[in-house]
Amino acid sequence: AQKITQTQPGMFVQEKEAVTLDCTYDTSDPSYGLFWYKQPSSGEMIFLIYQGSYDQQNATEGRYSLNFQKARKSANLVISASQLGDSAMYFCAMRGDQGGKLIFGQGTELSVKP
């Protein structure tokens, strides 16, 4: 069975500092994709970054980067230079080769302090 684990229910970070949100996963699928989403209080899920299981390089999108360690089955999100607008829930998700279904972790609530 596929599973995503996010062990940090809540985190605080000072504005302009970097923060790492942890995500570990479990799957027996030979290929899979890992995703991070941001969910502000409005409820919309905003796609941030994607990492494929066969990608050699860690994914980066602006201030977001994904620290992918396949052997450890971890896909941590790194946000550089945090901004007040980064305060939100962050979800790690995985899609295996069984179709379009996404499996989500429980989320991490990030609060950025001025």
Partner 1 sequence: KAGVTQTPRYLIKTRGQQVTLSCSPISGHRSVSWYQQTPGQGLQFLFEYFSETQRNKGNFPGRFSGRQFSNSRSEMNVSTLELGDSALYLCASSSGQGVNHEAFFGQGTRLTVV
> Which residues bind to partner 1, rule: CB under 8 A?
29, 31-33, 35, 37, 42-47, 50, 52-53, 91, 95-107
Closest CA to 4 of 101, 112, 110: 101
Partners of residue 19 on adjacent β-strands? 79
Write the DSSP string, 75-109. Answer: EEEEE-S--GGG-EEEEEEEE-TTSS-EEE---EE
- Of 44 and 114, the one with the shorter C-beta distance to partner 1 is 44
Nearest distance, CB of residue 94 and partner 1, angstroms: 9
CB of 17 to partner 1, least distance (A): 28
- Using the minimum distance from each CB to partner 1, give the nearer residue, 17 or 47: 47
CB of 43 to partner 1, least distance (A): 5
Q: In angstroms, what is the minimal distance from the CB of 63 to partner 1?
A: 18
101 or 113: CB nearest partner 1 = 101
- How would you class 90 by CB atoms within 10 Å of its CB: exposed for 0-12, middle for 13-18, buried for 19 or more? buried
Residue 10: which H helix or E strand, with range?
strand 10-14
Nearer to partner 1, 94 or 112 (CB): 94
